[in-house]
Amino acid sequence: VAFADSYFTVRGVSTWTGTQDQKEYALIAGTEYIDLRWRGELNGKLLFPDTQWLLFPRSGVVDDQGRPVVGIPEILKRATAEYALISLTQTLMSNPSIDETGTVLLESTEVVGPITETKKYQAGFIRSKPYPKADGYMLPLIRGAGSGGVYV
């Protein structure tokens, strides 16, 4: 929480609010999202594969100078904070709706004044929503994305 508080303060982000517990819950949601969304796509390997529950720390991850990254990279902390900020106001990865035929549907609801319009779309495989800033922080950690290094 201290990292996220400092990170958002220096950026002038006033929407990072709530109690200590609410911020912790948001950071847990951000961490879980990273673990679900990016599983199988990260550079390196789990540092403790037999006992480790989260995707970091990892071995085989290097910075932009080719030096091994030890511990939790700064860029991962930034991504986690950004996902946590989003989680304060919305669900990062929502469950899909399924109609009576078993077809997966995506719903879109739009409210304009007293009018509410809901549309349902059929979807095959549901991918996660794009979160450009947080996803951008994750890119250097992803296999085959850019240089493959972690910028710390």
Distances (CA, A) of 119 to 9, 65, 105, 106, 129: 38, 49, 10, 8, 17
pLDDT at 97: 61
Confidence of residue 107 (pLDDT cuts 50, 70, 90): low
Q: Residue 124, Cα to own-chain centre: how many angstroms?
A: 22
Tens-digit pLDDT profile for residues 108-142? 677 777 887 766 655 554 557 889 999 999 988 98
Percent of the chain surpassing pLDDT 90: 56
Percent of the chain surpassing pLDDT 70: 77
What is the C-alpha to C-alpha distance for residues 143 and 28, in angstroms, rounded to an integer? 24
Cα radius of gyration (the chain): 18
Confidence of residue 152 (pLDDT cuts 50, 70, 90): very low
